[in-house]
């Protein structure tokens, strides 16, 4: 149900960001904690109730803590070594939290809980083989992302992808990529898009390098011509006889080649430029992808 300011269109827009503040960290970690018990099939310990002389299984937070410290060593822990929300003044790795969200998503299982008796001394927890609870977990995580303006999404594949505004990714589509006849080119393009969606900024530069590899691979589509003749042939096909459009396409192909050679994208040497601003690589990636997606439609 929407709130008053939402219904009447008087709520200020939520700032879209990739930065997970302490407050947002708390909400996301709290959601993860709520579903730890659904990992009992991995982290359990046997308990014995003396009064009823019954054995039962509980979630082992200690085993979980030890495993997570090994699996995600940069995840923030408090002074007692417990997974916790950092304080405002603390340094923390926000991407380690995204790793934790994915870990829970990828291992979550349904459980059935019931009291042992009318005295409610302890709870029996039965492990099930299904994972329908993932849908509840996914919704809660994505609701936090959306409401707090975080540009991430927990996908049906149980991985977190970043959401990039004004990206040509939405137009690329699997149907367009699947039209590429060369499997190697398809694989490179799919890999570059997957890397670009990765939340970690250090991966995005690699995605740009990979998208330029896809562009170079695309130039092998016409085996009857040399690679240096590709720009001319593609420009003719894409222009539909319009000389002005042909000139634009040739210029764009030339400029993309210059970007790939002059920035540290395809080659690495001291004379090349390396931008410290991640947004530049967002621009490079989408500019190159936009041309590739359009070119594919003319390369039959």
Whether 41 and 61 have beta carbons less than 8 Å apart is answered as: no
Question: pLDDT of 157-170, one tens digit each?
Answer: 999 999 876 555 65
Question: pLDDT of 18-71, one tens digit each?
Answer: 999 999 999 999 999 999 999 999 998 888 877 777 887 889 999 999 999 999
Share of the chain above pLDDT 70, in %: 91
Residue-level pLDDT at 49: 77
Give the residue ranges of DSSP H helices in 47-161. Answer: 61-71, 94-107, 133-147
Phi, psi of 175 (to 5 degrees): -65, -35
194 alpha-carbon distance from chain centroid: 8
pLDDT value at 272 more than 70? no
Can you give the pTM of this predicted structure?
A: 0.78
pLDDT value at 219 more than 60? yes
Q: Which residue has the higher pLDDT, 101 or 179?
A: 101
Instruction: Tell which residue, 144, 142, 146, has the closest CA to residue 134.
Output: 142
Most confident of 36-40, 57-61, 121-125, 275-279: 36-40
Instruction: Give the pLDDT band of residue 79 (cuts 50, 70, 90).
Output: very high
- What is the Rg, in whole angstroms, of the alpha carbon atoms belonging to the chain? 26
Helix (H) or strand (E) holding 55: strand 54-59
pLDDT value at 233 more than 80? yes
Whether 286 and 296 have beta carbons less than 8 Å apart is answered as: no
């Amino acid at each position: 149900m929407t709130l008053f300011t939402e219904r009447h269109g008087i709520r200020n827009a939520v700032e879209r960001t990739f930065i997970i503040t302490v407050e947002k960290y708390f909400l996301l970690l709290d959601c993860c904690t709520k579903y730890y018990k659904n990992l009992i099939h991995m982290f359990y310990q046997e308990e014995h109730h003396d009064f009823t002389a019954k054995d039962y299984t509980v979630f082992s937070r200690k085993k979980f803590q030890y495993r997570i410290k090994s699996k995600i060593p940069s995840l923030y822990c408090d002074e007692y070594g417990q997974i916790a929300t950092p304080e405002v003044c603390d340094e923390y790795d926000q991407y380690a939290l995204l790793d934790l969200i994915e870990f829970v998503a990828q291992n979550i299982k349904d459980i059935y809980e019931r009291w042992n008796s009318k005295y409610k001394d302890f709870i029996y927890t039965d492990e099930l083989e299904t994972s329908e609870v993932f849908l509840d977990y996914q919704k809660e995580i994505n609701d936090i992302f959306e409401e707090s303006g975080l540009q991430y999404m927990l996908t049906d594949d149980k991985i977190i992808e970043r959401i990039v505004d004004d990206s040509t990714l939405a137009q690329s589509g699997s149907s367009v990529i699947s039209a590429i006849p060369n499997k190697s080119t398809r694989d490179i393009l799919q890999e570059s898009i997957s890397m670009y969606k990765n939340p970690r900024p250090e991966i995005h530069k690699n995605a740009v390098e990979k998208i330029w590899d896809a562009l170079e691979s695309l130039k092998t589509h016409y085996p009857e011509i040399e690679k240096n003749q590709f720009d001319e042939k593609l420009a003719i096909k894409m222009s539909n006889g319009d000389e002005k459009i042909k000139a634009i396409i040739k210029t764009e192909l030339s400029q993309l080649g210059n970007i790939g050679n002059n920035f540290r994208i395809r080659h690495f040497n001291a004379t090349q430029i390396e931008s410290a601003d991640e947004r530049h690589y967002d621009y490079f990636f989408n500019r190159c992808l936009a041309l590739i997606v359009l070119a594919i439609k003319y390369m039959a």
